[in-house]
């Protein structure tokens, strides 16, 4: 059975960037182990596309959901851009 991927586009100020993944707030929950493709906006108005898996989703329908995603396939160029974004914002 094929798994349908979720796709998101997130502004950089709404994402906590880590070496191997990201955390973000969502108004809707995501199933743990769900594969996702995320487009993160860069300071130069570009995008970094990342593929990963949701490893944690906690919250409720009133306050929203805190989602943690681990990258599964990230090019060296994308990883370098993410690390420069994380360093610039120091989140």
pLDDT (tens digit per residue) in 17-44: 888 899 999 888 999 999 988 888 888 8
Q: What CATH number corresponds to the domain at position 45?
A: 2.40.10.220
Split into its structural domains, the chain has a count of 1
Instruction: Note whether residue 21 is domain-resident.
Output: yes
Residue 74: give the domain boundaries: 6-89
pTM value surpassing 0.85: no
Instruction: Note whether residue 81 is domain-resident.
Output: yes
> So what's the pLDDT on residue 5?
57
> So what's the pLDDT on residue 4?
52
> So what's the pLDDT on residue 33?
95
Q: Is residue 31 packed enough to be buried (19+ CB in 10 Å), middle (13-18) or exposed (0-12)?
A: exposed
91 has a pLDDT exceeding 70: no
Instruction: Note whether residue 63 is domain-resident.
Output: yes
Provide the phi-psi class of 78: left if phi over 0, else alpha when psi is between -120 and 50, else beta: alpha
Instruction: Note whether residue 12 is domain-resident.
Output: yes
Instruction: Note whether residue 1 is domain-resident.
Output: no
């Amino acid at each position: 059975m094929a798994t349908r991927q979720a796709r998101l586009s997130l502004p950089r100020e709404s994402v906590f960037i880590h070496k191997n993944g990201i955390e973000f707030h969502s108004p809707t929950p995501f199933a743990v182990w769900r594969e996702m493709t995320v487009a993160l906006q860069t300071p130069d108005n570009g995008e970094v596309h990342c593929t990963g898996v949701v490893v944690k989703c906690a919250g409720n329908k009133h306050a929203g959901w805190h989602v943690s995603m681990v990258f599964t396939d990230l090019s060296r160029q994308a990883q370098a851009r993410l690390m420069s974004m994380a360093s610039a914002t120091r989140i």
